[in-house]
Structure 1
Amino acid sequence: MTAHTSISANPYTRGIAEFVSGLHYEAIPSQVLDRIKLLMLDSLGCALYGADLPWTRIMQKTLGAVDSTARHVVWGTGLKLSSPHAALANGTQVQSFELDDVHRQGVLHVGAVVLPALVAIAEGHRKMDGREFLAAAVAGYEIGPRVGLCMGPEHIAQGWHSGATLGVFSAAAGAARGLGLDAERTVHALGIAGTQSSGLMAAQYGAMVKRMHAGRASQSGLYGALLAEQGFTGIVNVLESEYGGFCSTFSRSHDRYKLDELTAGLGQTWQTMGVALKFYSCVGSNHSTLDAVRNIQAQRPFGEADIEKIVVHGSQVTMDHVGWKYEPQGLTSAQLNLPYCVATWLLDGDCFVDQFTEDKVADPERMRVAEKVQVMHDAEITSKGSKYRHMVRVEVFFKDGARLESTVEAGRGNERNFASQADVVEKFDKLASHVLPQDRVERIRDWMLNLERQADAGELAGLLAGR
């Protein structure tokens, strides 16, 4: 940790704010712009699919009952809410079924926290064109992952849900840039958002509230930007403060976070390019194992009846996050549990939305097969650091005595082997068509892929409105 000479010194919070407020479309490399359009399209597909799930319907109904300023669209529905409630609902929908993006090293679902707040800004708080929207989105996508890199994988290992805690900074950065705040007010937006950080990983064991964490972070970032715009002040050294700052409070000790990561490479190393997509409907930590099983099946086709056991060797985060003994506690726990997801793949040959329904959570066959999957800590993988937190070495032991193994660093769609535009569009179409007619799905897709040409980014919300 860098030593401070003043209790209010804020070189990192200030550095982030200056980058965010000064970021212009023309300064963003073309590959970053191309990538973020696909990332945002993917998040919108996740949100539209999530519009009609039990937990999101509860949230929509509850917020609608207490909201009297309904002007902002809840995506994929006919409901409108105030902008903070719409951000909460839409962020919940993006994260509603373990389908959305993840910055693996920063441990953050970025689209779920940036887009709901930013769309709310464009829809009702400040008119911006597509290029301004893109610049604001990139500002948001760049910041949260850097806070994750600063905190390291121990942040989630000790029990904080990073999407909720880190996410407020991405949301605040995107919303502040969307409002056109100067650096001074962006500092305050970050400081207001940062003090609202919260989210507990125990939510992964079956609670609906896990789905809400991203929405709450997006809402907190929106509040931060809107309040700062009006002159409300926040913690100016929210990231640096040695007492009560984000980093010192959310880490066990001062030597376990790296403040330099907060501003490292701003404007040169683009963390947006570090965001990966999912092609399984489960937590990202499980994807590399599922790909390893597929690799072994390509060498020797097999089903669950052919094997004695499967042993997954992974990082400490993989062990803690997804390697626990499966117990049926709801869809959330099913989608986060590695043995259950491997069992699902072996039985169904897929692990997408149709494989996760309430009637399958306590399916005796899935639970029996899940017992064949062991997850073990591999200290060598852990020692490689956060960049390799999803790396696994998977061994399949067959009943005839054979053994095959496969090592996978990261799942399909990862940042080093990103998905094609065709793959992203196919996933979006499949998800969005659950709630919107095909002609609307195609309009949203074409609008997003040509975002830089749009005169009014606020049109997006209307396109996302459902019945």
Structure 2
Amino acid sequence: MATAQSSVASRDVPVTAEIAKRATQLAWQDLPDDLIERTKQCLLDWFAVTVAGAQDDLTDILVQEAIEDGATGSATLVARSEKTLPSVAALINGAASHALDYDDVNFAMGGHPTVTVVPALLALGEQIKASGRLFIESFVAGYETSGRVGRLVAPSHYQKGFHVTGTVGTFSATAAAGRMLGLDDRQLATAFGIAATQASGLKSNFGTMCKPLHAGTASEQGLRAARLAAKGFTARPDSLECDQGFAASQSDHFAADAALGEPPSGWHLRNNLFKYHAACYLTHAPIECAKEIRLKSNFPPERVQKILLRIDSGADRVCNIPHPTSGLEAKFSLRQTVAMALTGVDTANLNSYTAAITEEPRIKKLRDKMAIEFQPNWAHSLAEMAIQLDDGSTLEASHDSGIPWPDLARQRQALEAKFDSLVTPVLGSAAAKRLRDTIDRVDRLADIGELVRASAM
């Protein structure tokens, strides 16, 4: 942990201005070819989880609220027939994209980057007829901002109880929208000040509809911050580092060097992690351990005497609901997801997360046999598991889910399979193919509105 002396000294660094400068100056010619492909893969994943999440109860409630509030307009909602005002579309599409907790992750940010950036850009881009290239430039600017601001306040910001997707995500949405609007660095620094006073989201609401709402509000508030700054709305231009600013009020850390330093592999986007289990990302390594042990040994669950899981202590306050009673709570239960994996339940299937599965007798018995040792200072994504069977033998496995796939072609194949499984049942095969094809040529679109309209019902 940074000392008080080093923390005060580091706050003299003009971090807000520097992050704003980097976001506004990013241009198409700066982007390596692999970042274009990675952006397309983020879009494949985002549309997949948003089309499915658009059918969730929380999305129905938000759409109903918007209609009752008279917020109808011309902005497209993903996988819906209704249309709303752009700011409301950012809110609803953002919440829908995080509804299933099946969206991508970046550990530099400490949360979910794409769900805060894409909804704001689609709403704004459809309104101003932004090109696909401008969309990609703006997406990368927003994504990289998420990593910089996340590293600035980690790890105590998250440890204090703030949901980074809702807080840091507001800055990434602001940077993306500001880049699309053509703000200069001083305007964007002011927009960050507007964003800072709106950024919010509490981890205590994990397992409820408020967690996905955080993603939606971050996107909506980021879009609003950028648009207000463009009109001359005022705010402090040093909101990240100033006394009583974002970092000072919400973190014990101020890691300016980490925020402004070179990301691993040169870009934060290169360290994006996709989900292939429809649950909290910190459950993924334990799920993989359980799957490996089950598939290698092929034992019936009744033979299990004891399950020991070792995992980073941070997971205790994120996904350690011991006795879940709903599908949402199941996504944040280490015991539940491990028991599901050990009994062969498909943890990638959305229908696996229901109240009924939490009451399944074999699942409950396995949950009760599981002990968790929370390890301080472990990698967030590392898990070790030991399972003792009724003959006294012990089976072990370990897995680190925080390592990006090195093979982009293989990753695309996995994401296309995920896309087809989530989108086709909702839109139909022809519409799903049309949406996928539009994503593939996003860099050639004259109007990004074509992309979001391809996802409508």
Deviations 1:36-94 (A, max 9, x none): 11012101110000111111111111122113442111110001111111111000111
**Which residue of structure 2 lines up, in the alignment, with residue 38 of structure 1?**
41
Q: 1:23 aligns with which of 15, 22, 26?
A: 26
Counterpart code for 2:329: S
**Which residue of structure 2 lines up, in the alignment, with residue 278 of structure 1?**
275
**Which residue of structure 2 lines up, in the alignment, with residue 393 of structure 1?**
384
- Match of 2:388, SS state, is strand
Counterpart code for 1:13: T
Q: How big is the shift at 1:193?
A: 1.0
**Which residue of structure 2 lines up, in the alignment, with residue 133 of structure 1?**
135
**Which residue of structure 1 lines up, in the alignment, with residue 239 of structure 2?**
238
**Which residue of structure 1 lines up, in the alignment, with residue 98 of structure 2?**
95
Task: State the aligned residue count.
Answer: 450
Q: 1:424 to 1:268 in 2, by over 3 A?
A: closer
Q: 2:315 aligns with which of 318, 340, 346?
A: 318
**Which residue of structure 2 lines up, in the alignment, with residue 64 of structure 1?**
67
Whether the 8 Å contact between 2:98 and 2:115 is mirrored in structure 1 is yes
Counterpart code for 1:77: R
Q: Which runs of 5+ in 1 are unaligned?
A: none
1:348 paired with 2:344, answer yes
CA distance in 2: counterparts of 1:160 and 1:111, whole angstroms:
18
Q: How big is the shift at 1:332?
A: 1.9
Whether the 8 Å contact between 1:240 and 1:259 is mirrored in structure 2 is no
Q: How big is the shift at 1:268?
A: 7.9
TM-score with structure 2 setting the length: 0.93
Whether the 8 Å contact between 1:67 and 1:82 is mirrored in structure 2 is no
CA distance in 2: counterparts of 1:378 and 1:366, whole angstroms:
25
CA distance in 2: counterparts of 1:291 and 1:327, whole angstroms:
20
**Which residue of structure 1 lines up, in the alignment, with residue 118 of structure 2?**
115
Counterpart code for 2:119: P
- Match of 2:237, SS state, is coil
**Which residue of structure 1 lines up, in the alignment, with residue 203 of structure 2?**
201
**Which residue of structure 2 lines up, in the alignment, with residue 76 of structure 1?**
79
CA distance in 1: counterparts of 2:407 and 2:279, whole angstroms:
19
**Which residue of structure 1 lines up, in the alignment, with residue 163 of structure 2?**
161
Q: How big is the shift at 1:303?
A: 3.5
Q: How big is the shift at 1:162?
A: 1.2
**Which residue of structure 1 lines up, in the alignment, with residue 418 of structure 2?**
427
Whether the 8 Å contact between 1:131 and 1:453 is mirrored in structure 2 is yes
CA distance in 2: counterparts of 1:156 and 1:417, whole angstroms:
31
- Match of 2:101, SS state, is coil
Equivalent positions of 1:161-180 (< 5 A) are: 161-180=163-182
CA distance in 1: counterparts of 2:358 and 2:387, whole angstroms:
24
- Match of 1:326, SS state, is coil
Q: 1:163 to 1:341 in 2, by over 3 A?
A: same
CA distance in 2: counterparts of 1:134 and 1:448, whole angstroms:
11
Counterpart code for 1:154: S
**Which residue of structure 2 lines up, in the alignment, with residue 218 of structure 1?**
219
CA distance in 1: counterparts of 2:259 and 2:85, whole angstroms:
32
- Match of 1:308, SS state, is strand
Please, which moves more after superposition, 264-273 or 15-24?
264-273
Q: 1:263 aligns with which of 257, 260, 264?
A: 260
**Which residue of structure 1 lines up, in the alignment, with residue 299 of structure 2?**
302
Q: CA RMSD in A?
A: 2.0
1:339 paired with 2:335, answer yes
Whether the 8 Å contact between 1:43 and 1:111 is mirrored in structure 2 is yes
Counterpart code for 2:209: M
Whether the 8 Å contact between 2:71 and 2:88 is mirrored in structure 1 is no
**Which residue of structure 1 lines up, in the alignment, with residue 152 of structure 2?**
150
CA distance in 2: counterparts of 1:116 and 1:302, whole angstroms:
45
Deviations 1:181-211 (A, max 9, x none): 111111111111121111111111x422112
Counterpart code for 2:213: M
Counterpart code for 1:159: G
Q: How big is the shift at 1:321?
A: 1.5
CA distance in 2: counterparts of 1:267 and 1:176, whole angstroms:
25
| % identical aligned pairs | 28
Whether the 8 Å contact between 1:314 and 1:391 is mirrored in structure 2 is yes
CA distance in 1: counterparts of 2:319 and 2:71, whole angstroms:
41
Q: How big is the shift at 1:357?
A: 2.4
Deviations 1:212-255 (A, max 9, x none): 110011111011111111111222111101x221111111x3xx
Whether the 8 Å contact between 1:296 and 1:405 is mirrored in structure 2 is yes
CA distance in 1: counterparts of 2:182 and 2:109, whole angstroms:
26
Whether the 8 Å contact between 2:286 and 2:309 is mirrored in structure 1 is yes
Q: How big is the shift at 1:324?
A: 4.1
Q: 1:417 to 1:346 in 2, by over 3 A?
A: farther
